[in-house]
Amino acid sequence: MRMLHRDMRMTDASLLANQERVVGFFASTTLLLMAAVLTALTTSEQIAELTSHIPLTHRQAPGQIEAKLSLLLLILIYAFFKVTWSLRQYGFAGVVVGGAPNSDEQLSPQQRIVFAKNLAKIMDSAGHDNNSCLRAYYFALSVVCWLSGVVPFLIASTLTVLVLYNREFKSSAVLGIQGTIIPPPTS
């Protein structure tokens, strides 16, 4: 709503471009991680040997390592689809921002609300998909710990859930964002 009242939209475009850059970074990083896991799948015997030297772990068969790496690969594929879809949606949002009516155009309050809600839906969806990618990354780290055994996997998974809960519901960043929401001006 506030963007529709501004003459200069450089800040809006800049914030959107910055978000696209960040999401694009995760898309390319996910591809690199997928390549690394595919490479690791070809060396499961060596990984089984290496992990057998980690304290408090048991020897695993190469097939077990391959299954765990395959799960890791599936998580990364999921993350890749989520992050690239998020990137596309941010691109759509950029088009909508670029096509936004100027502040001096005669729009009814209802038209402004419809425009703002539609743009917000695109941005919200893009953000959720980006967050899904990040959550997949966190749980992928738990799966990496699974290569050392069940106990490290359970500890890492539990810590991941606790960290995500704290960051998404209790963090000062979330509380700050919730505290800065100001109702749109009335026309």
62-98 vs 44-51: helix crossing angle, rounded to 10:
110
Q: What is the CA radius of gyration of the chain?
A: 22
Query: What is the reported pLDDT for 9?
Result: 75
What dihedral do alpha carbons 89, 92, 98, 100 form, nearest 10°? -90
Distance CA(50)–CA(148), nearest Å, equals 10
The answer, yes or no, to whether residue 79 has pLDDT greater than 90, is yes
Higher pLDDT, 77 or 64: 77
**Exposure letters 6-35 (e unless 16+ CB within 10 A, then b):** eeebeebeeebeebbeebeebbebbeebbe
Residue 98 CB coordination number (10 Å): 11
For the entire predicted model, the pTM comes to 0.81
The percentage of residues in the chain with a pLDDT greater than 90, rounded to a whole number, is 47
Q: Which residue has the tokens 């390319």?
A: 28
Enter the DSSP assignment of 124. H
Higher pLDDT, 14 or 160: 160
Query: What is the reported pLDDT for 69?
Result: 94
DSSP E strand boundaries for the chain: none
